[in-house]
Amino acid sequence: MRKGKGKPMSQDDRAKDLILYISELSENDEYYSATKLNKLLYFADVASYRKTGKSISGRNYIKEQGGPMVKDYYPTIDSMKPQLVVKSRDFFGHRQDKPVALDSADPEKFTKEELDIISHVIAEYRPFSATQISLESHNNSLGWQVFDYGEEIPYETSLISTRPPTKEEYEFPQTFKFDFKSLGIEEKDLIE
């Protein structure tokens, strides 16, 4: 993988830095938890995959009850001590496990485009509780909908939409006009 300035970085380091970076930026989010971290990672990776053809973290996701989850989430979090700790607290009668970054991530390890994606995802989902962001991941992840618990969710499933087409999308093939003459092709030469 590449650092923002072109220096190589391992996939493991990249994922850990992304976890630290998201945890830092979410420090003051009262809803931030392990569940929300997994969804933010997933949404950032999927947005990057849709835009660039590759994820930011380089990690795979599996279907779990709460939505998509980093496949090796717990070993990764355990290996990040003492850079990151998980603090548990009572949150409206439920246990909330909040990842807290004790070291700073180096944003220079990410490209400007990746940083923009990460910032956008965090800002978009900041008002969401763990329950709300989990439901969002269920509704907006075809992979989560079609695979069984514990199965890997391929990034390619993020390219398939489950929403009905808009009126404009539906009418596009009927209204599209292509200038065949600019290519030297006469309409009479076209096969219907």
Q: How does pLDDT run across 75-114, given as a tens digit for each residue? A: 999 999 999 999 999 888 888 999 999 999 999 999 999 9
In a domain, 175, yes or no: no
Position 6 scores a pLDDT of: 43
Residue 73 lies in a domain: yes
Evaluate whether residue 4 is within a structural domain: no
From 128, 34, 40, select the one nearest 86 (Cα to Cα): 34
Q: Does this model's pTM top 0.85?
A: no
How does residue 8 score in pLDDT terms, banded at 50, 70 and 90? Answer: low
Confidence of residue 122 (pLDDT cuts 50, 70, 90): very high
Domain assignment present for residue 88? The answer is yes
**Residue 71 pLDDT > 60, yes or no?**
yes
Domain span including residue 78: 11-161
**Residue 183 confidence class, pLDDT cut points 50, 70, 90:** confident
Whether 189 maps to a domain, the answer reads: no
Predicted pLDDT of residue 160: 85
Question: pLDDT band for position 190 (50/70/90)?
Answer: low
Q: Residue 169 domain-assigned?
A: no
Residue 87 β-bridge partners: 98
**DSSP one-letter string for 129-151:** -HHHHHHHHHHT-HHHHHSPTT-
Q: Residue 165 pLDDT more than 60?
A: yes
- Mean predicted confidence (pLDDT) in 178-187: 72
Pairing of strands 61-64, 67-70: antiparallel
Q: Domain total for the chain?
A: 1
Least confident of 66-80, 150-164, 178-192: 178-192
User: Cα–Cα distance between 171 and 149 in angstroms, integer?
Assistant: 38
